[in-house]
Structure 1
Amino acid sequence: MRTAGPPALLLVLLGLVTIAEPNFFSTTALAVVTAQALPILLLGLGQMFVILTGGIDLSVAAVCSLGTVILAQTIGATGPLAILITAAATAAIGALTGLLTTIGQVPSFVVSLGALGFWGAIALALSGSTTIYIDANYGAIFWLSSVTFLSMPLAVWLGLLVVVAIWAFMHYHPRGNIFHLVGLGERAALMAGIRTRAVRVVAFALSGLFAGLAAIVLSSQQQSAAPQLADALLLPAIAAVLVGGCAITGGIGSAWKVIVGALIVTVLRVGGSVAGVDPNYQQIVYGAVVIAIVVLTLDRSKLAIIK
């Protein structure tokens, strides 16, 4: 079900949307869909590493929103260097969440939930609770969303290269399955000599890094930053990971699965708009999808008590 189910669901959704809107497969429409899917994909890729280890990062969208604010406030003075500053800052934020989780031995759900509110408040304070428009040195990120190759924004192609790099690392590197091993059995991985706490910190750092990359893409698309710009992407990002076939209990998942999940979530959004569904109901759909997928993929053998 995890292998064949998500691609089959994607094909069904594409068929239904095409029936409702025959021009859905035009190059313009596909460019719009892929551009909308990219931030969800990037947030989902970061979330994937944490979920593979058996945790969850609820702060990823708030960190992404904060990343847009950091980018907007530094790009005027530093130009392209602001991209590195944003990515480094959000990666450090993710690593801090991981350290609090592992050293404090506090469930990732609790720590990341607190981090969601904390970093969201920081973003509000830094931005003055207002939208920041990027004018100076906008060209440093303009090319990501405005320059195209084969009718697709360059950011989409770079996102695909990132997926290929993750797949190559996990498939060919001797330690490529280390996140999976921790998620499948942390005690067994520890006895095998794997520094499980370090792996979990790295997973959260990668989650923060990809939140920063998503922030850069969003700022490029919107030419602005806002303290709540990415907040609505939390559920879609988690849904993309789970719908793609990654198990919430950890140990099962890949970057390709997240691509399929991100496309499913995006087609649901676009298809709902095409069908005339009120956007306010989209969160209901995502919530229902997440609950259904967790019920179907939860490995109950890992949990002595369900509570």
Structure 2
Amino acid sequence: MKIKAAIDKIPGGMMLIPLLIGAIIRTFFPGIFDLPEFKSSFTGGLLTGTSALLAAFYICLGSTIRFQATGYILKKGVSLWIGKIGTTFIIALLIKAIFPDQNNLFLGLSALAIIAAFSDTNGGLYMALMGQLGKKAEDVAAYSIMSLESGPFFTMLILGVAGLASFPIMAFVFAILPLLIGMILGNLDEKMREFLSKGQDVMIPLFSLAIGASINLANVVKAGASGIILGLGVVVITGGMLFLIDRLTGGDGVAGIAASSTAGNAAAVPMAVAAVYTGYSGIAATATLQVTAAVIVTAILTPLLTTWFAKRAQRRKAQV
């Protein structure tokens, strides 16, 4: 049976399928989560251990982030990173100023879902696109800077600074600590980077299963429509902003459009933030579904838009 091949045909399938399996268990067999035998079992630990699984994932993810960067990589990576985070921060300020209820803006979208989806780029997608369409290898390597977006830290920082949530200082420290541990280990020892980076892919279906086990499918239909709109917003708004920034820093705009996506691990951010700030605990499950939908929408639209624009740019150069 070619199970993995079938899952890989679905955009974000290795995250989406386990998440749906966990949600089905929670929706149709909710009683098992109250059984003492379940709570004390390995199965219970797997389906309810979201925080531990995410911590392990962020250590593995952190090991892939390199400290060193050449001038071009630094310029490209920092400009796109600041553009992504800066755009998200402006959106957060607008939400705070315009909407009285940040937990229900429209179609069930919340500030938590929007900030989580907008603030984290799909690194694998960006690197694949730039490896195929970029001018040089450094375009791909620029993600070594942009990968700092990964995890809940910047989502928490933006929400906190914009006045949409309140976090103790130590919450920021403990949120970013696993990522920092991974970064330090990966940069001190190339063998540790190689070893830990392999665990990144393995952890995705495991924490997705645990996240799904906290979701009731009764909210899926509502979250699906709003999640599609959220994904479209990420592509249009961040794509437009990053395109301009890329052009202003000497690029042709392709890298900016290639970064107009939502990372798969962003789906884990709402639960991670809600674990620290209880004001989001009631909407974290719905936000997770919305961000998951945005991941899928951007995984489809971003490559199409990037490839179209890159070919258009090449034709213009050929005519000059």
- TM (norm. structure 1) is 0.28
TM norm structure 2:
0.28
